[in-house]
Structure 1
């Protein structure tokens, strides 16, 4: 799929209404990935490209009532589905592109991005923008409920060496944008890359 924001909005816009019903069993995987992000009560976290907001309830649970949870997405239909599902109660929902976030520098403790990395128009630039809004020492989780091979098979494709989600490629992109890769898992039932915002 294209990484052009207009085409991404169109792709997800027409799929928003039945998105959750297509993937009804992903909840536990989202909760486990949120747990691995290491959030604490009172933290501020962004779900970048939040879609229908499946990560928002576990993010809210992790940061508690004194924390801040923001869900940002550039597809209005996805945000509408998040509201319809009641997930807007767990977070402030914002219509925004991760390339230009309406947040001050260093405002967040962490960013969670499910299925985000393959839709970034400018991966290093967009990862740099995520780094901008996170305090030094803050965390980033790039997640998908199934691994690269399983996802490629689902779409009738094969993994290629130029896949940004491959560990060497992702490490390079993160290094060039203010992050340091801490952990990487690419298994049939989960993809999770954890990174920390460098202090320089």
Structure 2
């Protein structure tokens, strides 16, 4: 990701941070269900990559228990500030970090949860490869969005793009090139969830 890309992403989310949760007030149960499908165990270490206002953090903490580790990294400080104001920082370590250069040693995590991240990466393969770097072999990745691709495109008033990296025919080879094997793919109106295993 170039400095321009980082600046553009930060500007986009900084402008929207304060009202972000109010725009999507009913997403909580869908986040909880996606975290449940990630298959975390008590004591696991998990990263919410691009955690935004931290909507997944409470469910991640509940899944790994008191003995587990929950990290929430985001490129935009304003989004993390909202997470703290909402109390979602309790039980999680929050940090400003770029998904393309994570401040973690290799293989230290059991899983990564990433909501809406892939479309904000200037280089999806590089981003997915960096997520793979910090996850142990056999660890898991959840690429999530609380609405499916078609519903999201309709909300924004445009058609689905055949180049969308989240489309299964595009995503599967991207994941494989980055060290992941796609194991489950759901793209419905009320959720998008692609689960993968670190190979």
Superposition TM-score tier, normalisation by shorter sequence: over 0.9
Q: How does 1:61-140 map to 2 (within 5 A)?
A: 61-140=62-141
Q: How does 1:169-188 map to 2 (within 5 A)?
A: 169-188=170-189
Q: Cα RMSD (Å) of the superposition?
A: 0.8
- Separation in structure 2 between the aligned mates of residue 142 and residue 22 of structure 1, nearest angstrom: 21
Equivalent position SS for 2:143? strand
Is the CA contact 1:5–1:121 (under 8 Å) kept in the aligned structure 2?
no
* Deviation (angstroms), 1:120: 0.8
Equivalent position SS for 1:81? helix
- Separation in structure 1 between the aligned mates of residue 108 and residue 115 of structure 2, nearest angstrom: 20
- Separation in structure 2 between the aligned mates of residue 168 and residue 5 of structure 1, nearest angstrom: 27
Equivalent position SS for 1:32? helix
Give the TM-score of the pair, scaled to structure 1: 0.97
Unaligned runs of 5+ in 2: none
- Separation in structure 2 between the aligned mates of residue 22 and residue 147 of structure 1, nearest angstrom: 17
The equivalent of 2:39 in structure 1 is 38
- Separation in structure 1 between the aligned mates of residue 161 and residue 169 of structure 2, nearest angstrom: 13
Provide, for residues 54-107 of structure 1, a one-character-per-residue CA deviation record: whole Å limited to 9, x for no partner. 000000000000000000000000000000000110310010000000001000
Equivalent position SS for 1:94? strand
Query: Is 1:57 the equivalent of 2:58?
Result: yes
* Deviation (angstroms), 1:121: 1.2
Give the TM-score of the pair, scaled to structure 2: 0.97
Give 4+ residue runs of structure 1 displaced > 4 Å after superposition: none
- Separation in structure 1 between the aligned mates of residue 76 and residue 45 of structure 2, nearest angstrom: 23
Provide, for residues 28-71 of structure 1, a one-character-per-residue CA deviation record: whole Å limited to 9, x for no partner. 00000000000000000000000000000000000000000000
* Deviation (angstroms), 1:5: 1.5
* Deviation (angstroms), 1:160: 1.4
The equivalent of 2:193 in structure 1 is 192
Provide, for residues 111-159 of structure 1, a one-character-per-residue CA deviation record: whole Å limited to 9, x for no partner. 0000111111110011000000000000000000000000000000110
Unaligned runs of 5+ in 1: none
